Chains A and B, each alone.
Chain A
């Protein structure tokens, strides 16, 4: 089964999305930035700003665990009480995550080949949001024709540090250069890892 491409989005696409309460139908904030973790497939949450043209930054942050749904048009949370003050646990993690952010990490295969750098995280928004891969930029090896961006599906096991991301050499066969082909690639790659066959 392949994943419908419309169910995939880049984390950075969420910037500017309204944060809407399920129980109130109110837009209480807007996503200012995405906070990435250093661990595999981790998004810590979002920093927020007030809505509107002159919306300044908000003291509260939104932890990934409090997100009920991510859609094309809004980030859904249960109620306004789910926003945490900045001096909370998440805020601490946000602070600590600086400098060991997965974005800009070098991507290497386990065969020692450099694929590029992580430029974004790809999220599947089907039933409960899940990180399913990375967008890689500056990838001369994979896209010599354009030097453009490609998508690498997240394997079940993957080594990651603040420095680099190691992916199996087999990932080469599953890389796609657009999100539309990425859905199918995620499924194929996972099948491959499970069964050991292409």
Chain B
């Protein structure tokens, strides 16, 4: 089923092993590549890999167990947790060098964690067009006819 980034963010995180609350989803770490959810940030400095998430429902995100929680392991993860790659409001730039608005929402497949599309202030961008995510912008493939600069 399709879910929006904003619906997952803020959801409580439950442990399947102990049925206890572990916190809430502070941030969803999505990256391009691989155009999917990489991990969920739980609280200020903890991460849960997407493969350790057993379910994303409207009421809770369920994680295998508390033991799956980890810290950031590289600089990119640390930057992501500091908000460098936050999607909402991110500038969208085509690989031809033209701005295509800013990101308003991301559509996700809750079963696989794959990005299905990115909604922007200027329309919908299919996941296949996503090329790279940086602190400056989201780079998307140019689509002939879709952008007339100026």
Contact = CB atoms under 8 A, between A and B. Distances in A.
Interface of A: 4-7, 17-18, 20-27, 68-76, 125
B95 interface: yes
Interface stretch (B7-15, B21-29, B40-48, B129-137): B129-137
B38 interface: no
A75 B137 CA distance: 13
Contacts of A71: 93-94, 96-99, 149
Contacts of B97: 17, 20, 69-76, 125
Interface residues of B, number: 20
Given A21-B134, A69-B95, A76-B96, 11 more contacts: A20-B134, A22-B139, A25-B132, A25-B137, A27-B134, A27-B137, A71-B98, A72-B99, A73-B99, A76-B97, A125-B149
Given A72-B99, A72-B149, A73-B99, A20 B94 contact: no
A76 B99 CA distance: 12
B96 A125 contact: yes
Q: What does DSSP make chain B's interface, helix, strand, loop or mixed? A: loop
A38 B95 CA distance: 29
A44 B132 CA distance: 28
Contacts, number: 74
B138 interface: yes
Contact of B148 (A6, A18, A76): A6
Contact of B132 (A5, A23, A74): A23
Nearest to A76: B97
Nearest to B144: A127
Nearest to A68: B95
A21 B132 CA distance: 9
A25 B95 contact: no
Contacts of B138: 25
Contacts of B94: 71
A20 B139 contact: yes
A6 B150 contact: yes
B93 A73 contact: yes
B139 A25 contact: yes
Contacts of A17: 97
A5 B148 CA distance: 10
Contacts of B134: 20-21, 24-27
B137 A20 contact: yes
B150 A72 contact: yes
5 contacts: A23-B131, A24-B132, A70-B97, A72-B149, A73-B149
Residue from A7, A17, A76 whose CB has the most chain B CB atoms within 10 Å: A76
A22 B95 contact: yes
Interface in B117-135: 131-135
Contacts of B136: 18, 20, 25-27
Nearest to B85: A25
B132 A22 contact: yes
A75 B93 CA distance: 11
Residue from A70, A71, A75 whose CB has the most chain B CB atoms within 10 Å: A71
